[in-house]
């Protein structure tokens, strides 16, 4: 049986606080900025982990997730054109019913600071929620807004009772949706890299918008916040989510594995692997795991239909993507590109012979009905 009553005074205080927020949780949008080069399963997991954690507090209701890939102007080493990164994101996000990609940032010819990206999305969300709430205000909302209008006269503000303040806040909160930056602990810790982030941007990000940060192997975000004056000042606005199911996938490791001809299955969505294979990205020509497998049934969708206003868009399935000479051997820890695998079977066109050989190797196994669960 569950205990319906608070057992201590702190519990009671916590309960009354959460009762208030429970009935009126702050709506929020999670915005993740990054390279997504390529999008990994962990990028997607990050949203699920954050949403669970925010809902557990009962103070927030996550209304949507947005992924904003950085523009080509960011100029990071090995950064593929936004057209490809967006195609992969679009395919990967087919598995989510609440995370969307927004291409505004990557359509900019120059790199945009993250504080500006947050500002853009907050205004967009404000516009959307205004539009939604205007046409048909409910009876209750009309009453709330009336109260706000009556009570929010500047002259009266200081004379208002606590109840009035609460009523206004509740009414405003109900309609407002706040955009928060979702990131891994490495991004938070990059705030400490000299010259990388402007102080005013850091203050704006944590002070005005807020941050949800997922722990990552090798980082200690709590210590980092403690050591930073500005982050400590706004720590109420920073939610650290400890991810206990360690999963240190990173796009860098994925690119390295692909270059080295190693398998990346179960680290990326199959549709993303299909897209990488079809477009010869990240030096997969020599990747036996990718090139020898029969594309997944969704492979036909791997060439997608995003409209590209500012770019030529991705190559067709058979077209070779021009590869930057910098891509090979830039990592001092990487050896030379792996030699062509003897098993290398280019899976780009229908190879009937190899298909027949593979079909011959398929063993048909009859399962007893009770094993077919």
Ligand X SMILES: NC(=O)c1ccc[n+]([C@@H]2O[C@H](COP(=O)(O)O)[C@@H](O)[C@H]2O)c1
Nearest Cα neighbor of 216 from 17, 40, 20, 38 is: 40
| Position of minimal CB gap to ligand X | 33
In DSSP notation, 4-51 reads -S-SSHHHHHHHHHHHHHHHSPEEEEEEEEE--TT--HHHHHHHHHHH
Among 30, 31, 35, 83, binds ligand X (CB under 6 A): 35
Does position 127 interact with ligand X (CB under 6 A)? The reply is no
By beta-carbon proximity to ligand ATP, the closer residue of 235 and 247 is 247
Among 150, 196, 294, 348, binds ligand X (CB under 6 A): 196
Q: Is the peptide bond before 208 cis (omega within 30 degrees of 0)?
A: no
**φ, ψ for residue 81 (rounded to 5)?**
-55, 145
Partner that binds at residue 36, options ligand X, ligand ATP, none, CB closer than 5 to 8 Å by kind:
ligand ATP
* Shortest CB 36 distance to ligand X, Å: 8
Q: Which stretch binds ligand X (CB under 6 A): 109-117, 240-248, 271-279, 330-338?
A: 109-117
* Shortest CB 203 distance to ligand ATP, Å: 19
By beta-carbon proximity to ligand ATP, the closer residue of 173 and 253 is 253
* Shortest CB 216 distance to ligand ATP, Å: 4
Q: Which stretch binds ligand X (CB under 6 A): 33-41, 146-154, 217-225, 278-286?
A: 33-41
Q: Which of residues 197-226 bind ligand X (CB under 6 A)?
A: 197, 201
Does position 114 interact with ligand X (CB under 6 A)? The reply is yes
What is the number of other CB atoms lying within 10 angstroms of the CB of residue 143? 12
How far is residue 65's CA from residue 49's CA, in Å, rounded to a whole number? 12
Residues in Cβ contact with 266 at an 8 Å cutoff, skipping those fewer than 6 apart: 41
- Work out the angle at residue 121's Cα, subtended by the Cα atoms of residues 231 and 72, and round it to the nearest 5 degrees: 90
Nearest Cα neighbor of 20 from 173, 182, 189, 226 is: 173
- Work out the angle at residue 278's Cα, subtended by the Cα atoms of residues 308 and 297, and round it to the nearest 5 degrees: 105
Q: CA torsion sign, 89 to 90 to 95 to 98? A: positive
* Shortest CB 273 distance to ligand ATP, Å: 16
The H or E element containing residue 204 is helix 199-204
By beta-carbon proximity to ligand X, the closer residue of 103 and 315 is 103
How far is residue 115's CA from residue 209's CA, in Å, rounded to a whole number? 9
By beta-carbon proximity to ligand X, the closer residue of 201 and 286 is 201
Residues in Cβ contact with 47 at an 8 Å cutoff, skipping those fewer than 6 apart: 30, 32, 65, 96, 98, 99, 182
Q: Which residues contribute to the site for ligand ATP (CB under 6 A)?
A: 32, 34-37, 40, 42-43, 46, 183-184, 186-187, 214, 216, 247-252
Does position 42 interact with ligand X (CB under 6 A)? The reply is no
By beta-carbon proximity to ligand ATP, the closer residue of 99 and 183 is 183
Does position 108 interact with ligand X (CB under 6 A)? The reply is no
Q: Which of residues 339-358 bind ligand X (CB under 6 A)?
A: none
By beta-carbon proximity to ligand X, the closer residue of 78 and 292 is 78
By beta-carbon proximity to ligand ATP, the closer residue of 180 and 216 is 216
By beta-carbon proximity to ligand X, the closer residue of 50 and 299 is 50
What is the number of other CB atoms lying within 10 angstroms of the CB of residue 25? 19
Partner that binds at residue 114, options ligand ATP, ligand X, none, CB closer than 5 to 8 Å by kind:
ligand X
Residues that bind ligand X (CB under 6 A): 33-35, 70, 74, 76, 113-115, 187, 196-197, 201
């Amino acid at each position: 049986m569950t205990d319906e009553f608070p057992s201590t005074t702190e519990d009671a205080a916590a309960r009354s606080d959460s009762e208030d927020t429970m009935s009126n949780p702050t709506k929020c949008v999670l915005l993740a900025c990054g390279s997504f080069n390529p999008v990994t399963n962990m990028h997607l997991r990050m949203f699920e982990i954050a949403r669970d954690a925010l809902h557990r507090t009962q103070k927030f209701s996550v209304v949507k997730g947005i992924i904003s890939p950085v523009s080509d102007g960011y100029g990071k080493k090995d950064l593929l054109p936004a057209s490809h990164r967006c195609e992969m994101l679009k395919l990967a996000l087919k598995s989510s019913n609440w995370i969307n990609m927004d291409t505004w940032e990557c359509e900019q010819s120059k790199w945009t600071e993250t504080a500006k990206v947050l500002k853009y999305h907050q205004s967009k969300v404000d516009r959307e929620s205004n539009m939604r709430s205007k046409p048909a205000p409910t009876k209750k909302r009309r009453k709330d807004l009336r109260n706000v209008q009556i009570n929010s006269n500047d002259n009266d503000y200081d004379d208002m009772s606590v109840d009035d303040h609460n009523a206004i806040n509740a009414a405003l909160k109900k309609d407002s949706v706040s955009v928060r930056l979702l990131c891994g602990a490495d991004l938070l810790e990059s705030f400490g890299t000299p010259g990388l982030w402007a102080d005013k941007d850091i203050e704006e990000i944590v002070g005005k918008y807020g941050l949800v940060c997922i722990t990552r192997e090798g980082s200690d975000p709590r210590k980092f916040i403690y050591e930073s004056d500005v982050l400590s000042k706004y720590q109420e606005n920073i939610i650290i989510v400890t991810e206990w199911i360690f999963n240190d996938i990173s796009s860098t490791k994925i690119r390295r594995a692909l270059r080295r001809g190693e398998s990346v299955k179960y680290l990326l969505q199959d549709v993303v692997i299909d897209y990488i294979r079809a477009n010869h990205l990240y030096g997969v020509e020599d990747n036996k795991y990718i090139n020898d497998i029969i594309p997944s049934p969704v492979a036909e969708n791997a060439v997608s239909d995003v409209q590209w206003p500012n770019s030529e868009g991705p190559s067709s399935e058979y077209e070779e993507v021009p590869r930057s000479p910098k891509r090979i051997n830039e990592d001092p820890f990487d050896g030379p590109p792996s030699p062509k695998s003897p098993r290398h079977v280019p899976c780009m066109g229908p190879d009937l012979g190899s298909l027949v050989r593979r079909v011959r190797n398929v063993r048909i196994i009859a399962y007893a009905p009770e094993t077919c669960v």
